Amino acid sequence: MYHIDIMTLFPDVVGDMLCESILGRGQERGYIRIDCHQIRDYTKNKQKQVDDYPYGGGRGAVMQADPLYQCWKHICDEAGERIHTIYMSPAGRTFRQADARRLKDDYQRIILVCGHYEGIDQRFIDECVDEEISIGDFVMTGGEIPAMAVADAVCRLVPGVLSDPSCYENESHWNGMLEAPQYSRPEVWHDRTVPPILLSGNHAKVEQWRRKQSILRTRERRPDLYEKLDLSSKEDRKLLKELDEELRDERPYAENTPD
C-alpha cells in the first residue's frame, strides 16, 4: 500500500476531494491510503493558534514551527521512522511527471506539508523538510491544491489504482511528449467528424497516427520538450518526413507577383 500523509489546516476539504473517483476506489481496494492531519490539533494553546507576526516586520502572518513539528513528529512516531517530507512551496522545484514516478518508485510513504498565510517558519523547513515542490511559477493562498495535485499524480501510478499501466503510459509527459487528441461518440458532432483512421479498425495504423499527432502537438505547443526528444528511429524519421510533407501541402500556394 502506498501511503500519503497531508498536513493541512483544511483536512476535511482535502480528504473529501481525494476520496472521490479513481483515488477513492484505490483507497477502498487497499492500494493507497491518504490521511489528512489537522495542524491545529498540535498547538499548545487554547486558541489553537498556528500563526504569528513575522520577525522583521511585514504584512501577513507566518505559520509557526512548533505546531508543524508536533504534527510531523506524530506522523513519524506513528510510522516508526522518519518519513520523506515535501513542503509545497512556490520556491520549490517545479513538479514534473518524472517527479511523480520518482516519488512512487523511491518511497512507500510521503508527507506533504501545506503552508498558508505568508509561508511557514524556515526552521521547520530546515529541520524536517527533505524537498520543496512547486506546481508552477505562481502563488496560491495555500498548499492544499498543490498537495492534492501531487497526491493525485503519484497515486494514479500505484499498481492497481488504474486498470492497466497503459492508462498512464500513453498519456502526456510519460514519454516526454504530449498526448494525441482523443475522440468519442458520436461520430459526427456539430459537423465535426472523427478522423477516419480511428474508425478503420487497423490498430497498427491507429497507433502510428497517434504517435504522429503526439509528435506534432509537442513540436507546436511545447518546443522545449520537443528539443529533448529522441526521434532518431527509422519509424520516427518516417513520421517526421510525412508530417513535413503534410504541413507543406496545407500551406496555400503563393504565386509569384512582379515587384
Which segments are annotated as binding site?
115, 135-140
CB 95 within 8 A of CB 51: no
For the chain, give the DSSP string.
-EEEEEEES-HHHHHHHHTSHHHHHHHHTTSEEEEEEEGGGG-SSTT---EEPPTT--SS-EE-HHHHHHHHHHHHHHHTSPPEEEEEEEEEEEP-HHHHHHHHHH-SEEEEEE-BTT-B-HHHHHHH-SEEEESSSS--SBSHHHHHHHHHHHHTTSBTTBS-THHHHTSTTTSSSPPPP---S-SEETTEE--GGGGS--HHHHHHHHHHHHHHHHHHH-HHHHTT----SHHHHHHHHHHHHHHHHHSPP------
CB 84 within 8 A of CB 130: yes
Annotated binding-site positions for S-adenosyl-L-methionine: 115, 135-140
- Read off the C-alpha cell for 67: 505546531
Q: Which of 73, 194, 167, 83 is nearest to 124 (CA)?
A: 73
The 10 Å Cβ neighbour count of residue 210 is 17
